Chains A and B, each alone.
Chain A
Amino acid sequence: MNARSAPPQTSAEAKIAADYVGARLSLPGGHAVADLRDAAFDAFMAAGFPTRRVEAWHYTDLKRAMSEALPIASPPSATSILAQGARLASLCPRMEDVDSLRVVLVDGHFIPALSDVVRLPQGVALHSLADALAHGDAALIEALAAPGLGQGDAALALNTAFMQGGFVLDIAAGVDVVHPIEVVSLSSSVAAQAIYGRSLVRLGAGARLTLVEAEACDNGSIEQRNCALVCQIADDATLEHVFVPAELSQGSTHVAHLLASLQSRASFNSFTLARGGGLVRRQVFLRFDGDHSKAQLAGANLLKGRDHCDTTLIVQHVAPHCESREYFKSVLDEEATGVYQGKVIVAPGAQKTDGAMKSHAILLSDGATMNNKPELEIFADDVVCGHGATVSQLDEDQLFYAQARGLPKHDAEAMLLEAFVDESADRIENEAIRAHVIALMGGWLAARRRA
């Protein structure tokens, strides 16, 4: 926020620059995070929204999608919270057979009144981002900044500059959180708005947690979401994470960042189910800081209409003896565009790294497009790394086989597609949550069959 800022190139960037000037001091954290925000804002203004000229955004033009910058969502009023509470149960019913602890966010802001805060077990601390920043120390701010992850990404810099809503969840060392924590995000406004959320989850040594992020949006308004989740996983800790972004309306943009770092012998398993809705960019930055850790990033992308969904992963092996797995399935119908970019970087010294990455896509229509870019960048010799990528249509022989046994073509297709995408959900360890995700995917396929 000073003379160093480059002049904005588009009207959206100009609007964002003006918004920042106006909001800067009222954003949570005040002076404690002002430097962090300013640096991020300068970085964003210098780069502007990423275009396809930025290699990490080779297939997604955010600058074009962000032709205008929507007003930033203000914290919800008391009446709005009441209204959201009333429709919470219908809009986002509880998962079957999962006794989860709910954390409710409205327009990105943590609402304790709607959340199961009293049920939180010992050793679990939950605060809103604003509260955490107000009482937070330097360690918290550093953790939120996630140094070394996603550096140079303009969309993440924008999130850092504007981070407004979100929560900070701390699990003390050795605590095994039996009930999954389910973060439900709702949108209150029917007016078009921009939401910038930043949340932090810290697992102490040996802690265990299952975290589900579910977003719901039914009001048909256009949103520009730019939210980030930072996960810090200490030695021997285990985090299972499932993310189901909202199906926003066409014209919306949704950038969802996940920044994870793992210490020694830690385990991280993350699954994303994307069902389209405007432009979706899922980007994961993951780094192994300690040895003998394991991480798995899996997901399914079910896209139709003019959906554009971009999954970009950057996995950095810094420590030796770690294992990473990436496994993604995409089904693309009508004029949808799917993007998968996965990059595994093995730094010098990260010996005995074991990395495997797979991306499989099925195109159901001639108008659909799939772009795969699986990258390996390896600077250590004693490693085993591989990737595979396939694109094809449904197998004619399989279809014929199913039809020959009396299944109508539509049902045969649905069955084959179900088998194809369910394989990705098999990576979710929690059985009940896996069943829930499979049911969501089944719903998408059933809707397609009816259409």
Chain B
Amino acid sequence: MAAVQETVDRVKSVDVDAYKYGFFTDIESDKAPKGLSEDTVRFISAKKNEPVWLTEWRLDAYRRWLTMTEPDWARVEYPKIDYQDLYYYSAPKSSPGPKNLDEVDPELLRVYEKLGIPLREQEVLAGVQERRVAVDAVFDSVSVATTFKAELAKAGVIFCPISEAVHSHPELVKKYLGSVVPVTDNYFATLNSAVFSDGSFVYIPPGVRCPMELSTYFRINEQNTGQFERTLIIADKGSYVSYLEGCTAPKRDENQLHAAVVELITHDDAEIKYSTVQNWYPGDSEGKGGIYNFVTKRGDCRGARSKISWTQVETGSAITWKYPSCILRGDESRGEFYSIAISNGRQQVDSGTKMIHLGKNTTSRIISKGISAGRSNNTYRGQVSAHRKATNARNFTNCDSLLIGETCGAHTIPYIEAKNATAVFEHEATTSKISEDQLFYCKQRGLSAEEATALIVNGFVRDVLQQLPMEFAVEAQKLISISLEGSVG
């Protein structure tokens, strides 16, 4: 009940255009010249002091990108992006490489404080038996601080910026980079391959259960910058890791581009749990500004009995275009996708997942909850497929949509493809508004319309919230309430 009350208070206290994370921090930064060319790609690569193979890899991606066209199949509309009008690299001036937190620009740390990121280890060390979280913070294009490095190293876990991993663990990066999302996978992934600036790299050695949650916070700060981070997580045989990413951006009138790529690889018996709380600036109530979130996320269950679980809470961005997917290659591997996508104002969400069953006895589960309010459009687009040899593939899909207000849209577009007789696929979807009966029942028991709505919405998304790590479930709930402000009641 307490959490519900908090939701209600939140709704009351925030007015329509309030975006809590909409501050802009004036930090001197080092930018690449505007526009995209082979020189830009070389500039980024040189900045990172990258080996030749990676520079060539980027250039190859760039050349292929030039031959590709922007996809237009998603149910989203936006003015054409001028790729020459963007900065592709922006780093806080305090680089290169802070050795520890004390060397980090204090202004930057204040930013994270405002964001509520538990960056400072002492917060945890100060007592309270809280679960600890290691954080990698990515500011515009560069990873600025990674915490708990030493302790993670003791367990053999590698958790560092990918730019660092290129130097410290080139064999791993070379082996896995682009092995799940190929360079030419899609327009935005190819663009990312050419200009990706930084991101997190995680390697969990065989048999290790990562001693703490790993987390990345992404923030776009600089004006006219695109953020192109690249995350690569490898869980070796029998290992486990839980990883969380959070995203924010300041309020700006123009749209900003975010085109990230996330690749997950699990070997035999390994498990990766990947949670996202995405709260990029959604633009104002008239649809001005906001982030274009064009992200490619894919996990490859390479080993037998491995598991990848995606959980996402999507409340931000002007446009969301992302489909975290699982390739269930190993026998008996398992994929999961839990999603809450909330759209309000003029937001456009086109999100979903792909579960590609290749191995024998593979299972997958999709739970998607979409809530649309205001004048937004919220689309679930998903694919479940069983290939010829995927004996005994199992899938259960449930996607529910809730409509609040008569000017929004909710859409469901699932593709269910079975090429194997032993496959069992179940799919169900419903769309409705909050029922009068439920509202009446709550109001009769003394709740106001707002409280009743908050209670019902919380119940609607509970299946998914339960999948989030404890620390973030509360935060996610707050986000949900902020996102729905102005439409509830």
Residues of A within 8 A of B (CB): 55, 58, 348, 351, 361, 363-366, 368-393
**Could you list 28 A-B pairs, sorted by A, with CB under 8 Å?**
A55-B73, A368-B419, A369-B417, A369-B418, A371-B416, A375-B413, A375-B414, A376-B411, A377-B409, A377-B411, A378-B401, A378-B403, A378-B411, A381-B408, A382-B433, A383-B403, A383-B432, A383-B433, A386-B430, A388-B428, A389-B427, A390-B424, A390-B426, A391-B418, A391-B423, A391-B425, A392-B424, A393-B421
Q: Which residues of chain B come closer than 8 Å to A372, judged between CB atoms?
A: 414-417, 425, 427
Residue in chain B with minimal CB distance to A333: B421
Q: Which residues of chain A come closer than 8 Å to B409, judged between CB atoms?
A: 377-379
A363 touches B418 (CB 8 A): yes
Contact status of A381 and B428, CB under 8 A, knowing A363-B420, A371-B416: no
Q: Which residues of chain B come closer than 8 Å to A381, judged between CB atoms?
A: 403-406, 408, 433
Chain A proximity of B395: nearest CB distance (Å): 9
Nearest 4 pairs between A and B by C-beta? Answer: A363-B421, A381-B403, A372-B416, A386-B430
A385 touches B430 (CB 8 A): yes
Cα distance A380–B411 in the bound complex, in angstroms: 11
A375 touches B411 (CB 8 A): yes
Residue in chain A with minimal CB distance to B373: A381
Residue in chain A with minimal CB distance to B397: A389
| Interface check B410, CB cutoff 8 A | yes
A388 touches B417 (CB 8 A): no
Chain A proximity of B342: nearest CB distance (Å): 15
Other than the known A55-B73, A373-B413, A390-B427, what 20 A-B pairs have Cβ atoms closer than 8 Å? Answer: A58-B415, A361-B418, A363-B418, A363-B423, A364-B421, A366-B420, A369-B417, A371-B417, A374-B412, A375-B411, A376-B410, A376-B411, A380-B406, A381-B406, A383-B432, A383-B433, A384-B431, A384-B432, A392-B423, A392-B424
| Interface check B429, CB cutoff 8 A | yes
Q: Which residues of chain A come closer than 8 Å to B417, judged between CB atoms?
A: 369-372
A385 touches B431 (CB 8 A): yes
Q: Which residues of chain A come closer than 8 Å to B29, judged between CB atoms?
A: none
A371 touches B421 (CB 8 A): no
Cα distance A386–B420 in the bound complex, in angstroms: 26
B421 touches A368 (CB 8 A): yes
Chain A proximity of B345: nearest CB distance (Å): 16
Cα distance A386–B411 in the bound complex, in angstroms: 11
Chain B proximity of A309: nearest CB distance (Å): 15
| Interface check B242, CB cutoff 8 A | no
| Interface check B438, CB cutoff 8 A | no
Q: Which residues of chain B come closer than 8 Å to A389, judged between CB atoms?
A: 414, 416, 425-428
Cα distance A230–B416 in the bound complex, in angstroms: 30
| Interface check B448, CB cutoff 8 A | no
Residue in chain A with minimal CB distance to B403: A381
Residues of B within 8 A of A (CB): 73, 388, 401, 403-433
Contact status of A369 and B419, CB under 8 A, knowing A55-B73, A380-B406, A385-B430: yes
Cα distance A368–B421 in the bound complex, in angstroms: 7
Chain A proximity of B69: nearest CB distance (Å): 13
Cα distance A372–B423 in the bound complex, in angstroms: 13
Cα distance A364–B422 in the bound complex, in angstroms: 9
Cα distance A446–B420 in the bound complex, in angstroms: 24
Residue in chain B with minimal CB distance to A343: B413
Q: Which residues of chain B come closer than 8 Å to A375, judged between CB atoms?
A: 411-414
Cα distance A387–B431 in the bound complex, in angstroms: 9
Cα distance A128–B442 in the bound complex, in angstroms: 62
Chain B proximity of A345: nearest CB distance (Å): 9
Cα distance A444–B157 in the bound complex, in angstroms: 61
Q: Which residues of chain A come closer than 8 Å to B428, judged between CB atoms?
A: 386-389
Q: Which residues of chain A come closer than 8 Å to B424, judged between CB atoms?
A: 390-393
Q: Which residues of chain A come closer than 8 Å to B405, judged between CB atoms?
A: 381
Q: Which residues of chain B come closer than 8 Å to A373, judged between CB atoms?
A: 413-416
Cα distance A368–B423 in the bound complex, in angstroms: 11
Chain B proximity of A428: nearest CB distance (Å): 26
B426 touches A371 (CB 8 A): no
Q: Which residues of chain A come closer than 8 Å to B407, judged between CB atoms?
A: 348
Q: Which residues of chain A come closer than 8 Å to B423, judged between CB atoms?
A: 363, 391-392
Q: Which residues of chain B come closer than 8 Å to A386, judged between CB atoms?
A: 428-431
Cα distance A55–B413 in the bound complex, in angstroms: 11
A374 touches B427 (CB 8 A): yes
Chain A proximity of B391: nearest CB distance (Å): 8
Q: Which residues of chain A come closer than 8 Å to B418, judged between CB atoms?
A: 361, 363, 369-371, 391
Partner pick for B421 among A55, A351, A365, CB 8 A cutoff:
A365
Cα distance A447–B405 in the bound complex, in angstroms: 54
Q: Which residues of chain B come closer than 8 Å to A383, judged between CB atoms?
A: 403, 431-433
Cα distance A348–B404 in the bound complex, in angstroms: 13
A393 touches B422 (CB 8 A): yes
B420 touches A378 (CB 8 A): no
Chain A proximity of B74: nearest CB distance (Å): 11
Cα distance A276–B401 in the bound complex, in angstroms: 36
Chain A proximity of B369: nearest CB distance (Å): 14
Chain A proximity of B368: nearest CB distance (Å): 13
A376 touches B416 (CB 8 A): no
Chain B proximity of A321: nearest CB distance (Å): 15
Chain A proximity of B116: nearest CB distance (Å): 34
Q: Which residues of chain B come closer than 8 Å to A376, judged between CB atoms?
A: 401, 410-412, 429, 431
Cα distance A365–B420 in the bound complex, in angstroms: 8
Residue in chain A with minimal CB distance to B419: A369
Cα distance A383–B411 in the bound complex, in angstroms: 13
Chain B proximity of A261: nearest CB distance (Å): 23
Q: Which residues of chain A come closer than 8 Å to B404, judged between CB atoms?
A: 381
Residue in chain B with minimal CB distance to A363: B421
Q: Which residues of chain A come closer than 8 Å to B403, judged between CB atoms?
A: 378, 380-381, 383
Chain B proximity of A201: nearest CB distance (Å): 32
B431 touches A391 (CB 8 A): no
Q: Which residues of chain B come closer than 8 Å to A351, judged between CB atoms?
A: 406
Cα distance A190–B105 in the bound complex, in angstroms: 85
Q: Which residues of chain A come closer than 8 Å to B433, judged between CB atoms?
A: 381-383
Cα distance A97–B237 in the bound complex, in angstroms: 68
Q: Which residues of chain A come closer than 8 Å to B401, judged between CB atoms?
A: 376, 378
Cα distance A390–B414 in the bound complex, in angstroms: 12
A385 touches B415 (CB 8 A): no
Chain A proximity of B226: nearest CB distance (Å): 29
Residue in chain A with minimal CB distance to B73: A55
Chain B proximity of A246: nearest CB distance (Å): 27
Q: Which residues of chain B come closer than 8 Å to A374, judged between CB atoms?
A: 412, 414, 427, 429
Most chain A CB neighbours (cut-off 10 Å) among B401, B408, B412, B418: B418
Q: Which residues of chain A come closer than 8 Å to B413, judged between CB atoms?
A: 373, 375
Q: Which residues of chain A come closer than 8 Å to B421, judged between CB atoms?
A: 363-366, 368, 393
B429 touches A387 (CB 8 A): yes
Residue in chain B with minimal CB distance to A374: B414
Q: Which residues of chain B come closer than 8 Å to A392, judged between CB atoms?
A: 423-425
Q: Which residues of chain B come closer than 8 Å to A368, judged between CB atoms?
A: 419, 421
Q: Which residues of chain B come closer than 8 Å to A370, judged between CB atoms?
A: 416-418
Partner pick for B388 among A55, A366, A390, CB 8 A cutoff:
A366
